Structure 1
Amino acid sequence: MRSAVFGAVLALGLAGSVAAQEGDIQAVIDSQLEAFLAGDVAAAWSHASPAIKEIFRTPENFGRMVREGYPMVWRPAEVRYLDLESRAGQMVQRVLIADQSGALFTLEYFMVETENGWQINAVNVLKAPAPAV
């Protein structure tokens, strides 16, 4: 009996922890998307992980890469969060984004927790979802 109660408490605690992570992770992604929409590349850059900052070196280089390579992220029309999972030591948040023309894209945001909180370590564009029938 005691182990069943302990297991239930542990499961609830873990679910609460994942929910808290999910909220924090989604807030970071939202903040970066809002910064791109506002044209504030420096604010968007602040959500990039140290590895991303090392690759692109400046907010301007980073902004140019996003604008040219991820136009749906640069100017999203609609954002919907899907599942969050742990993969190879990173949290991966799937996001469905509609661009300004209404085209849908599923993206995976690879998140790392740093001393500055959650940061975006990579974004992978997946195959577009099949249209609903």
Structure 2
Amino acid sequence: MNLTVIRFFNLIVMALLATALHAQQADLVAEEDAEKVRQVIVTQLDALSQDDADRAFATTTPSVRAALGSSGRFLAMVRGAYPMVYRPSSVSFHKPEKDEETVLQLVEIKDSDAKSWLVVFALEQQPDRSWRISGCLVAENRWQTI
């Protein structure tokens, strides 16, 4: 897998996260949109748990799909770079926050070794009003709140 592509997406998500964290007041996300955002992530996690590369890939934005090229490459990238997302043992959602046109959804994930992770999914609303994942950023959760 091309590490440059992975680093590129991580840099984008880190920039979005930094912008959101430094904003004096994050925009609230309407409950209807918050539920749709959570559902997209749940759909991706479920697809990954079944090795359904096509369904997992369909939850990403067109730009992610274009950059990675195929659902197989996407699944390989997630397996290699994001094993905690590939096979989480538990998932807990926080309230999402909106930064301009991007919604940032913080998710606490435990992996199969009971190690806790903080994952920020960045999602963009599409012209058809659906939400798609544009990237994610993962950090070890040192607070272990799950």
TM, length-normalised to structure 1: 0.82
What does residue 80 of structure 1 align with?
A: 92
CA apart distance, 1:26: 0.3
CA apart distance, 1:122: 0.6
- The alignment partner of 2:94 has SS state of strand
How far apart, in 1, do the equivalents of 2:46 and 2:89 lie? 11
What does residue 136 of structure 2 align with?
A: 123
How far apart, in 2, do the equivalents of 1:113 and 1:107 lie? 19
Number of residues paired by the alignment? Answer: 118
Report the AA paired with residue 60 of structure 2.
A
How far apart, in 2, do the equivalents of 1:66 and 1:25 lie? 19
Indicate yes or no: 2:68 matched with 1:56.
yes
After superposition, give the CA deviation of every residue in 1:67-111 in whole Å (9 maximum; x if it has no partner). Answer: 000001110110000121012420000000001111000010000
TM, length-normalised to structure 2: 0.75
Give me the CA root mean square deviation. Answer: 1.7
Structure 1 runs of 4+ aligned residues shifted over 4 Å read none
Bigger shift: 55-64 or 113-122?
113-122
Aligned residues of 2:116 and 2:140 also touching (Cα < 8 A) = no
Identity %: 23
CA apart distance, 1:130: 1.7
How far apart, in 2, do the equivalents of 1:48 and 1:129 lie? 28
What does residue 39 of structure 1 align with?
A: 51
Aligned residues of 2:101 and 2:125 also touching (Cα < 8 A) = no
CA apart distance, 1:129: 3.3
How far apart, in 2, do the equivalents of 1:107 and 1:131 lie? 13
CA apart distance, 1:128: 1.8
- The alignment partner of 2:59 has SS state of coil
Report the AA paired with residue 122 of structure 1.
G
- The alignment partner of 2:132 has SS state of strand
Structure 1 residue ranges without an equivalent (≥5): 1-13
Structure 2 residue ranges without an equivalent (≥5): 1-26
Report the AA paired with residue 133 of structure 2.
I
The structure having more radius of gyration, on CA atoms, is: 1
Aligned residues of 1:106 and 1:129 also touching (Cα < 8 A) = no
How far apart, in 2, do the equivalents of 1:126 and 1:89 lie? 24
